[in-house]
Structure formats: C-alpha cells, structure tokens
Amino acid sequence: MLDRRGTVRQSVLAQELGQAPRSVTQSVEALEREGLVERTADPHDGRSKLVRLTPEGTKALIAGTAAGEQVLREVFGAMGAEQLGNLDQLLDALRAALSGAA
C-alpha cells in the first residue's frame, strides 16, 4: 500500500489493513528499526504519524515481490489451462461461501 499511496497516516494504514492500530504501531516500529519505513509527525495533526517507505524499504518490497512471483510461477506453472480454470472456479465458490458466512 505504501508503494502505491506514498506517505499515509498510520491510522489510515491500520484501517486499510483491517488491523488494530496498536498492532500496526508495533509492526511499523519494527519496520522502522530495520530502516524499511520512516515515521514523521503529521504537520496537520501533531497526534498522528505519517509513514512512508524508505529507499531500502522499496528495494526490499521489490525483492519480496519478485520472490513471491517466482514461487507462484513454480507452483502454478506446471498446471495446464484447464486445471487453472478449475482452480479458479473452486476459489470463486470458496470466496462466495465465505462471504455468505461473514
């Protein structure tokens, strides 16, 4: 999300992720210690923090995305079009069943 939206309020980040603000605060603090994100005071609201990716965070995100895509290619690359179509239908049915239970 930070790669697409740039700098965001930490509270917005929690809301977008569907996480408790305290959980996001702990995660952001850990990422900040690793140098992957930076937090600054919101100039419009001193109680709020703004979060943005650092250059190192951007590099880590790119590397992680590439690794994830490689895993997906390895897992699903051996499947034919018919198998992938069947999987897609099963996942749609599962998604529908879960949304009905929510």
Q: Are strands 45-53 and 37-42 parallel, antiparallel or unpaired?
A: antiparallel
The letter for the amino acid at 26 is Q
pLDDT value of position 70 = 94
pLDDT tens, position by position, 12-28: 999 999 999 999 999 99
Alpha-carbon distance 40 to 17, whole Å? 20
Q: Quick one: tokens of 67?
A: 């690794």
Beta-bridge mates of residue 42: 45
What's the pTM? 0.71
pLDDT tens, position by position, 56-98: 999 999 999 999 999 999 988 889 889 999 999 999 999 999 9
CB distance 17 to 11 below 8 Å: no
Q: Quick one: tokens of 47?
A: 């109680």
Alpha-carbon distance 76 to 94, whole Å? 19
pLDDT value of position 101 = 66
pLDDT value of position 102 = 54
